[in-house]
Structure 1
Amino acid sequence: MLEGKATFEVGSAFYNPKAEMVRDLAILAAAIYRRDRGHLRVLDAMAGCGVRSLRYALESQADFVWANDSNSDIQGILHQNLAQLKSKQYRISDRDAIRVFFDCYNQQDYYDLVDVDGFGSPVPYVHACLSACAIGGMIYLTSTDGRTVTGRAADNCLSDYGAVARSHPAIHEQGLRLILGNVQQQAASRGMGIEPVFSYFTGQTYRVMVRLVSSIQLNEKNYGFLGFCHECGTYQTVGWRSLGRSHCPHDQRWLVVSGAMWLGKLHDVLQITQMIKLAKEWGWISQVRLLELMQAEAEMPPYFYTLGEIGRRGKLDIPKSNYLIQTLKELGYRASLTHVDREAIKTDADLKTCVRIARTFSS
């Protein structure tokens, strides 16, 4: 197999070729960290066949990579694939990831990038992986549990995230924000904070990369609730002190509230700008397009409106996103596409305004 600069065998190890973009984004972020900091030590806690470990070493120029996977049956493949690296560049182990994280903490062996690519919810690993990350370093988390974060498994969401997830058109962005909120809250409980580097919904899985910082970032403005009115389709952020009076501003109906979740930026604009520049240098055109979408949506509110919903409520054909965005900007609103749903727009205008603009195009 060939991916990026890595040549590898899969054998019986897990490898998802459809997740190459997920790995590309991590490689770009890690390469920028290595360039800016002058060092990069990576802990790949659930390495699978080792393709990520190889790419961190070969493309991001990692000084050291620890490839761990608790499945002892694939150790042969890991050794075979990583043998192409210099002996001092890597370590291979078959230990439980949580034990690895706490051993790193006990030995004060902190890593610049901790990659946690597991199945299901990432929450069981969050507290432990914070212990293995250096201050200023990055953590890359995966969630494959879409049912929990989209409101289809309410009890699981309560037990994993300490939150309520309700169904609405922007549920997949909600998934990213629930994960970020959980990491932020767990970091705050230890007197630290996280800053999102980027957040990515692939269509099946949720990936967030965060930077660990030494000061608490959690506050009532960036960590709270999202309200949705099923009657008129309006979204509204709801603060902790407003939970008892969360009404729709249009018809005074009670909002359906999800949270608590992260309400701040999904992406670091400066980091995304640097990733775009590097991706252009490497000739990664598809990655540039995705990153430019992320860059545009970074400053937008924590929700979006689907084109189908705008058309349905206005009893119109599905409107053109470019026309909606251009017209909204001309009227003084912020608006952009979103990578989460290519048939949706993010804007600080309400849904009724979007419907009214869509009607002007239709007429």
Structure 2
Amino acid sequence: MSCLPLDALPIYLSTLFCPKPKALHSKLIINPCKSHLQSERGLQFDVGDTFFRRESATGRDLGVLSAALRRNSEGSLRVLDAMCGCGIRSLRYLEEANADFVLANDANDCIRGIILGNLSRVSRDSSERWAVTHSDATRVLTECYLKRDYFDFIDVDSFGSDSSFLRAAVGAVKFGGMLYVTSTDGYSSGGNRPGRCLAAYGAYVQRMPYSNEIGLRMLIGGVIREALTAGHHVVPLFSYYSYHGPVFRVLLKINNGLPSDQRHYGFVSYCSQCGDSRAFPWEELGKVSCSCVANVREHSPAVSGPVWTGPLHKESHLREMLNLANEWGWIGNDTGRDLEKLLNQMIDECDPNLPVGYIKVDEIASRAKVNSPPLNSILTSLQKRGYAASRSHIASNAIKTNCRMDGCVRIVKELQQPG
């Protein structure tokens, strides 16, 4: 019990003597482990020997803000943290999102003491507000579905390209609820293992210069596939990429009923000759080509899909997140600049005229055979000419625009001319 904080002792004793412990694993032995205290948003917690990435705090911020918005709109909040690790996400959902109940699950029962110790730090009476289980994520999600024990917010912070839990997760979310999923397989989204992508997400992904955006779209597409089989449809609320890991995180709203159309679940092509990309639906799958290399087989565009080809975020949801972050003091007054910048960039990316993908400034300059001009200068020039244009939160040296590559090249050349 060397890693169990004193304030967790009553919880530990209750697991030993309570005749009917609620949702607790049959193994009640709390394994000793080293204590490694951390702090996040003013909350202290112990990571012990668990895997913990401090850089993922932003992803946790986004999840907490969204969960709190769900509680504000519905009046209650039940959260399932299916792969909780040390329990920091569960703790934050309880303390910051004011969840009425959190089920913290992790398959590794060796870290039980760490989880119990961290959740015992909840300020309000916690006897009915949380429970800890130790099951495979798919199993706990399936059991919740079979018991009709649905949740408002389900967070599955998985590793690699594990997608085996997606169908069970979709089934365990309340209609109108939120599903927060993860991938850390940047190698596959880069087009290096198309077979793996096909097995995990039902999408064949080839190499494209905006592979990290494809990673997000592939993850959304994987959830869409499972939701469609259950007669549901999904709405992406936000999509977040972090190079630490890398980590792909997507929050989706799960709605009952099939979508009225599926035009945003299709394919993406990229032509390496001219640098243009476009999205196209299933019915055009046999007509994929690029006008610059028409009928030239050896230069045919690379095609990836099916993936999500619609907006990566819902603007109204992001604005509500931004307002709540300001209300909580997470941004403004020279604080939280990174979070505020991220949310504002995501809002800019919501422009419905922006296509799939982004263009790196270095690629434009290379095609123009000039030095790279300031990114803001390119954005301003594009917008003055009536094009939709924004930064990409995914790549700091890239822009999203509906201007074709040759148009971007002309603009960059003009920016190099004196006067």
Q: Same fold (TM over 0.5)?
A: yes
Q: Which residue matches 1:302? A: 356
- The 1-side partners of 2:312 and 2:242 are apart by 14
User: Helix, strand or coil: the match of 1:8?
Assistant: strand
Letter in 1 for 2:217: R
* CA-to-aligned-CA distance 1:84-105 (integer Å, 9 cap, x gap): 2321110011111111011101
Contact 1:184 1:217 in 2 (8 A): no
Tell me if 1:159 matches 2:196: no
User: Helix, strand or coil: the match of 1:130?
Assistant: helix
Aligned partner (choices 144, 149, 174) of residue 184 of structure 2 = 144
Tell me if 1:191 matches 2:231: yes
Q: Which residue matches 1:49? A: 86
C-alpha displacement of 1:283: 2.7
Aligned partner (choices 166, 174, 189) of residue 134 of structure 1 = 174
Aligned partner (choices 50, 64, 69) of residue 27 of structure 1 = 64
Q: Which residue matches 1:76? A: 113
User: Helix, strand or coil: the match of 1:319?
Assistant: coil
Letter in 1 for 2:72: R
Letter in 2 for 1:331: R
- The 2-side partners of 1:182 and 1:175 are apart by 11
- The 2-side partners of 1:132 and 1:92 are apart by 17
* CA-to-aligned-CA distance 1:312-331 (integer Å, 9 cap, x gap): 11111112221111111111
Contact 2:277 2:357 in 1 (8 A): yes
Tell me if 1:289 matches 2:329: no
Aligned partner (choices 397, 400, 416) of residue 346 of structure 1 = 400
- The 2-side partners of 1:356 and 1:279 are apart by 40
User: Helix, strand or coil: the match of 2:237?
Assistant: strand
Letter in 1 for 2:151: Y
Contact 1:176 1:206 in 2 (8 A): yes
Aligned partner (choices 268, 275, 285) of residue 314 of structure 2 = 268
Tell me if 1:36 matches 2:90: no
User: Helix, strand or coil: the match of 2:164?
Assistant: helix
Which stretch of the first structure deviates more once superposed, 248-257 or 30-39?
248-257
- The 2-side partners of 1:120 and 1:209 are apart by 17
- The 1-side partners of 2:179 and 2:212 are apart by 21
Contact 2:178 2:253 in 1 (8 A): yes
C-alpha displacement of 1:75: 0.3
C-alpha displacement of 1:173: 0.3
Contact 2:221 2:307 in 1 (8 A): yes
Contact 1:49 1:78 in 2 (8 A): yes
Letter in 2 for 1:154: P
Letter in 2 for 1:294: M
Q: Which residue matches 2:209? A: 169
Contact 2:278 2:355 in 1 (8 A): no
Question: What is the 5 A alignment of 1:105-144?
Answer: 105-144=145-184
Q: Over aligned residue pairs, what C-alpha RMSD do you find?
A: 1.2
Q: Which residue matches 1:66? A: 103
Q: Which residue matches 2:281? A: 239
Q: Which residue matches 2:259? A: 217
Tell me if 1:205 matches 2:247: yes
* CA-to-aligned-CA distance 1:256-288 (integer Å, 9 cap, x gap): 111110001100100001011111222322211
Q: After TM superposition, which residue ranges in structure 1, 4 or more long, deviate above 4 angstroms?
A: none
- The 1-side partners of 2:285 and 2:252 are apart by 28
Contact 2:264 2:281 in 1 (8 A): no
Identity fraction in percent? 38
Contact 1:5 1:59 in 2 (8 A): no
C-alpha displacement of 1:208: 0.4
Letter in 1 for 2:282: W
Contact 1:337 1:345 in 2 (8 A): yes
Contact 1:5 1:58 in 2 (8 A): no
User: Helix, strand or coil: the match of 1:156?
Assistant: helix
Q: Which residue matches 2:32? A: none
Gaps of 5+ in 2: 1-37, 331-335
- The 2-side partners of 1:308 and 1:166 are apart by 21
Rg bigger for which structure?
2
- The 2-side partners of 1:185 and 1:95 are apart by 25
Aligned length: 363
Q: Which residue matches 1:229? A: 271
C-alpha displacement of 1:218: 7.4
- The 2-side partners of 1:256 and 1:80 are apart by 51
- The 2-side partners of 1:234 and 1:88 are apart by 55
Which stretch of the first structure deviates more once superposed, 23-32 or 232-241?
232-241
Tell me if 1:104 matches 2:156: no
* CA-to-aligned-CA distance 1:30-54 (integer Å, 9 cap, x gap): 1111111111100001111100000
Gaps of 5+ in 1: none
- The 2-side partners of 1:156 and 1:184 are apart by 18
Contact 1:42 1:114 in 2 (8 A): yes
User: Helix, strand or coil: the match of 1:293?
Assistant: helix
Aligned partner (choices 340, 355, 359) of residue 409 of structure 2 = 355
* CA-to-aligned-CA distance 1:274-304 (integer Å, 9 cap, x gap): 0111112223222111000000012221111
